[in-house]
A and B are shown apart, each in its own frame.
Chain A
């Protein structure tokens, strides 16, 4: 019954700042790279005893053959755990646990036109999804500033960008970019801040498009035990038989019709 799951001390292969406050880290971890699917996340731990809780960070890329994963994360402020991660260098070790969560379903997109929508720090997980999804893909990415991962996305499909200040692509958010470019799809995958997910959920339900969204909430355990990171669900959840699905365990990816945002 017990598996080989557990925290591991993994070696950092590279660390790079790719936009203001946005960092990209490659980590050597055969175990996680072998198991991970797009949309899953890992728990990352600081070495600072005053910051105990793991930081849940989505997987941006998975190189199964090489046993490597990439995380692209935002430094959320001075003195934060993510700032400590950003100061780590190639050769340093970092404690991680994963892969965690369910990930995006890939089969449902077969033969249909998929739209992948990322906003802010919801952009990175869409990259591995874009790499693994077959067929026609439209990519819509929204940025505050600095269009990180742009070249990588351009290789995966038709890319449309929205920026808050209009410095690139459509001025505004991802919904503005979808409207301005008259984009359409048979299936939507999205990750980003709650207001964005709320708008996409509404749009998808109005147009009757199947839509998967990846959600975020403050987490403690990351494995479904503490019940901190719940979201309101339409159906009763399997754990507590109320209407609270666990984002870390039942998600982070949900059908948009499954959850209230």
Chain B
């Protein structure tokens, strides 16, 4: 049985990775799961300088999911390179660094800093709904997506994954724009912008007022978008959005995802990633798939 997948020339031992922001740089979860079992660890967003993030409360539970507005708190690229990359290098897994910024220059500064670091791929976060500048501002306009992708590709030595926002009318437009800009891989979806009101305190549940909705409740939207993007572009897709079981992961793969990311599920099942990797193998055995690549996008 062959579970390896190939993303822009980078081979992963299996298609299961972590969704940025839910797994830190793996250190906390390494007490609960064997990181060697993962196809890749996708780190929390890293900026050129430390970001303090948003005021609390930063999260709220919603029906079958949750909302967050962390605001990309992170230690900045220098601490990240000094501390987090050496930590992850101890494991036999691919390292994908999620990059965030407030301006094109910010993103490029991080991409340039990472150029000679031992990281396998870069994921560019142009879709965070919880920061005032950067993030989603780049991700909702196809022209802006193409421009920033092009600019990042000038500096990047590693393959570039553009992470798309679902908060658009037609996600295939931003997907095509990223492809036109030279993206190597697409990942989707980031969280859906939402709001929750605390009726007992008569105020917003989140200090940021709005937040990104994730978890099983958003899964059908994510599967639909992965399918649509798969039909629209030739690039490999990393699918995510509410994956909490191997069955969920299989849905994304059949819809067109080459790899999958597990996010919110980590919060209620720290071992979710490894359980999903195991489940995918059982599924392949049951349905006689020799090679996982034969499953990608076969429902169309």
Contact = CB atoms under 8 A, between A and B. Distances in A.
A221 B267 contact: yes
Determine the interface band of chain A, counting residues with CB < 8 A from chain B: 35 or more
Interface centre among B51, B79, B267 (most CB of A within 10 A): B267
B93 interface: no
A97 to B, nearest CB: 7
Interface string A9-45: 0000000000000000000000000000000000001
B137 interface: no
A117 B296 CA distance: 59
A222 B23 CA distance: 12
B288 to A, nearest CB: 31
Given A7-B269, A230-B53, A241 B75 contact: yes
B242 to A, nearest CB: 10
A51 interface: yes
B29 A223 contact: yes
B61 A52 contact: yes
A228 B68 contact: yes
A26 B56 CA distance: 32
A261 to B, nearest CB: 12
A259 interface: no
Contacts of A227: 24, 44, 53, 58, 70, 73
A223 B28 contact: yes
Nearest to A243: B52
A240 B56 contact: no
Give the dominant DSSP class at B's interface: loop
B50 A1 contact: no
B287 interface: no
B59 A219 contact: yes
Given A7-B270, A223-B270, A225-B23, A53 B61 contact: yes
Contacts of A51: 61
A226 B216 contact: no
B266 A50 contact: no
Nearest to A52: B268
Given A7-B269, A49-B216, A230-B58, A220 B50 contact: no
B215 interface: yes
B51 A218 contact: no
Give the dominant DSSP class at A's interface: loop
Contacts of A90: none
Contacts of B51: 240, 242
A231 B57 CA distance: 10
B267 A52 contact: yes
Given A5-B31, A7-B269, A53 B66 contact: yes
Interface in B48-89: 50-53, 56-61, 63-66, 68, 70, 73-76, 79
B65 to A, nearest CB: 7
Given A1-B30, A49-B64, A244 B264 contact: no
Nearest to B26: A225
Interface string A89-104: 0000000010000000
Interface residues of B, number: 44
A187 to B, nearest CB: 28
A223 B28 CA distance: 6
Nearest to A76: B200
B22 interface: yes
Interface in B30-55: 30-34, 44, 50-53
A249 interface: yes
A224 B32 CA distance: 13
A217 B56 contact: yes
Contacts of A179: none
A239 interface: yes
A229 interface: yes
Contacts of B79: 241
A151 B216 CA distance: 45
Interface in B1-45: 21-24, 28-34, 44
A135 to B, nearest CB: 34
A2 B31 CA distance: 5
B271 interface: yes
Contacts of A241: 50, 75-76, 79
Contacts of B216: 49, 52
30 contacts: A5-B32, A7-B269, A7-B271, A49-B216, A50-B63, A50-B64, A51-B61, A52-B66, A52-B268, A53-B59, A217-B56, A218-B59, A221-B267, A222-B267, A224-B24, A224-B28, A226-B70, A227-B44, A227-B58, A227-B73, A228-B57, A228-B70, A230-B56, A230-B58, A231-B56, A240-B73, A241-B50, A241-B79, A242-B52, A249-B28
Given A1-B30, A224-B24, A227-B24, 10 more contacts: A2-B30, A3-B31, A50-B64, A217-B56, A218-B56, A226-B59, A226-B68, A230-B56, A240-B52, A241-B50
Q: Sorted from nearest, which 5 A-B pairs have the closest CB atoms?
A: A225-B24, A225-B28, A228-B59, A242-B52, A218-B57
